[in-house]
Amino acid sequence: MNTTVLTSTFILTLLLAVGLFFFIRASTKDRIEQMVLETGDSEAALLPRLEAYFQERAYKIAAVDRETDIITFEGLVRPSVFLAVLLTGLAAIGSMCLALVLAMVLPDIGNLFWGLLLVAPLAGWFYWAGSTRTEQVRLRVKAATEATAPTQIEISGHRDELAVFQSALQLSAHEDIK
């Protein structure tokens, strides 16, 4: 095979391996967002709904700050079996591709590189160990100042949790999202 083709294939495979490494590393990262949501419900009617919603999602009230009116809910986030298997599979395919290219570039010791496949399960283990954590959702309910104005909920938490929260309680996003 042509040396130029092998070299360029090796460099591209290395770049893909680096990208895969950072993708696996990012799988455990917190993705905290802040939103301002609106509802037509009054503050008195909304607070019990919020508490019931978070209790259904296995969150508990961790703190209530009376000065700033911020309620903090905490819950344990469990890792996804699907994502652990997916990351392990991607790592196995990536390791196999790298081993194949290295075996072509260095044919004398090419069979040793197939040992890289043994590293693939570490990706699933890394995700599983790093994604089990306690997560917080902080919110503040701001009562409407006018009779026709909606009640606002300022909330911060994991972006997936906020999306489920917004759709489950059928809340609309405020125009001035922070």
Query: pLDDT value at position 121?
Result: 95
Give the pair of three-digit tokens for residue 29: 């990262």
- Cα–Cα distance, 140 to 40 (Å, whole number): 16
pLDDT tens track of the chain, all 178 residues?
A: 678 888 888 899 999 999 999 999 988 888 888 988 888 887 788 888 888 898 998 899 999 888 888 999 998 878 889 999 999 999 999 999 999 988 888 888 878 888 889 999 999 999 998 888 888 899 998 877 776 678 888 999 988 888 888 888 888 787 654 4
List Cα–Cα distances, 76 to 29, 49, 58, 131, in angstroms: 15, 21, 8, 10
Provide long-range contacts, Cβ within 8 A and 24+ apart, for 146-150: 150/38, 150/39, 150/40
Question: What ranges in 27-177 are assigned the alpha helix state H?
Answer: 43-56, 81-105, 121-131, 159-168
- 89-126 residue pLDDT tens: 999 999 999 999 888 888 888 788 888 899 999 999 99
Query: pLDDT value at position 99?
Result: 92
Amino acid at 3: T
Q: Which residues pair with 140 in a beta bridge?
A: 154
Query: pLDDT value at position 1?
Result: 62
Query: pLDDT value at position 127?
Result: 92
Are 157 and 136 contacting, i.e. CB atoms less than 8 angstroms apart?
A: yes
Q: Which residues pair with 126 in a beta bridge?
A: none
- Cα–Cα distance, 86 to 19 (Å, whole number): 15
- Cα–Cα distance, 113 to 18 (Å, whole number): 17
Output the pTM of the full model: 0.70
Are 61 and 86 contacting, i.e. CB atoms less than 8 angstroms apart?
A: no
